[in-house]
Structure 1
Amino acid sequence: MRRFHLVIVFLFTATTSFAQFGVSFNQSSLPFVGLSYEVNNKFLPELRIGTDNYFDDTSLEVVVSYIFKRNETINAYAGVGGRIQILEGLVVPVGLNIYPFEKKSFGFQMELAPILRESSLLRGSWGIRYRF
């Protein structure tokens, strides 16, 4: 039930304000696909679904990031969220979205995210992002 509440809060937040939908794929030892809404060019709530595993081992993350540095090419962000299922815990992502092309829809992403739990883990990842 807790998972359901997190998804509802994510969707309600994204649809009640000006937002831009996006998808991403990040590669690491814990890879994931993300569905996000960029809200008012400042907030980036994202639902992340673990990949490269069995369906029974699929993890979910809900993260809300604040874009604290924005220019034409680079967005720097930091956030907080939670992870459930495998390696449950608090997630604190810090990263960069880089849009090097003339059309700013497609870009690259680098992120460092500690997963804080009894035995904490530091996840580094890189990936691609597309904004609709």
Structure 2
Amino acid sequence: MKKILFTAIFGLFSLLSYSQTTVSYHQSNLPFVGINTQLGERWLPELRIGTDNFVENLSLEVVGNYMVKSDEDKQIYLGLGGRLNLFEGVVVPLGINYYPFDKKDFGFHMEAAPIITFNNGALFRASFGIRYRFLKD
């Protein structure tokens, strides 16, 4: 599992130089920061790292999001991914990114994500936060 995660992280960072990159902060009871890159018209793979934790409880998530609907102001996505360390398991995010300003680089987002853990059952995480896109000219 760790080899798969390492390969996914390396692959994500190698793609950052070729596509639009976004950073985000998600506020919830399990807050995290994320970095993603858009691949083509529909795919948003994202690496997420838990925040507000002791280092030994630092959690990593790798999620592949598919944009169900996308226009200049908003993106609605559905995804599937994995989570390691605290609450290890499968993550199924459903969310919306909204960019209300004239320059479409800063925006807001909301997400609901069931986490199906391998040993603790399931929990439901809902988050909101901010997102910044590094737009290419």
Using structure 1 for the length normalisation, give the TM-score: 0.92
- Alpha-carbon RMSD across the aligned residues, in angstroms, is 1.7
Q: How far apart are 1:84 and its partner, in Å?
A: 0.4
Kindly indicate whether the alpha-carbon contact (under 8 Å) linking 1:17 and 1:40 is maintained by their aligned counterparts in 2: no
1:113 corresponding residue in structure 2: 113
2:126 corresponding residue in structure 1: 124
Q: How far apart are 1:39 and its partner, in Å?
A: 1.0
Q: How far apart are 1:38 and its partner, in Å?
A: 1.0
Q: How far apart are 1:7 and its partner, in Å?
A: 3.5
1:7 corresponding residue in structure 2: 6
Q: Deviations over 1:64-105 (max 9, x none)?
A: 000010112110000000000000010000000000000111
Could you tell me how far apart the structure 2 residues matched to 1:66 and 1:17 are? 20
Could you tell me how far apart the structure 2 residues matched to 1:72 and 1:38 are? 14
Q: Which amino acid aligns with 1:8?
A: T
Q: Which amino acid aligns with 2:132?
A: Y
Could you tell me how far apart the structure 2 residues matched to 1:130 and 1:7 are? 25
Using structure 2 for the length normalisation, give the TM-score: 0.88
Moved more, 24-33 or 65-74: 65-74
1:91 corresponding residue in structure 2: 91
Q: Which amino acid aligns with 2:108?
A: F
Moved over 6 A (4+): none
Relative distance call for 1:18 and 1:126 in structure 2 (3 A) is: same
Kindly indicate whether the alpha-carbon contact (under 8 Å) linking 1:65 and 1:78 is maintained by their aligned counterparts in 2: yes
Kindly indicate whether the alpha-carbon contact (under 8 Å) linking 1:10 and 1:45 is maintained by their aligned counterparts in 2: no
2:32 corresponding residue in structure 1: 32
Q: How far apart are 1:48 and its partner, in Å?
A: 0.3
1:59-98 to structure 2, matched below 5 A, reads: 59-98=59-98
3-state SS of 1:25 partner: strand
Q: Extract unaligned runs of 5+ from structure 2.
A: none
Residues matched between the structures, number:
131
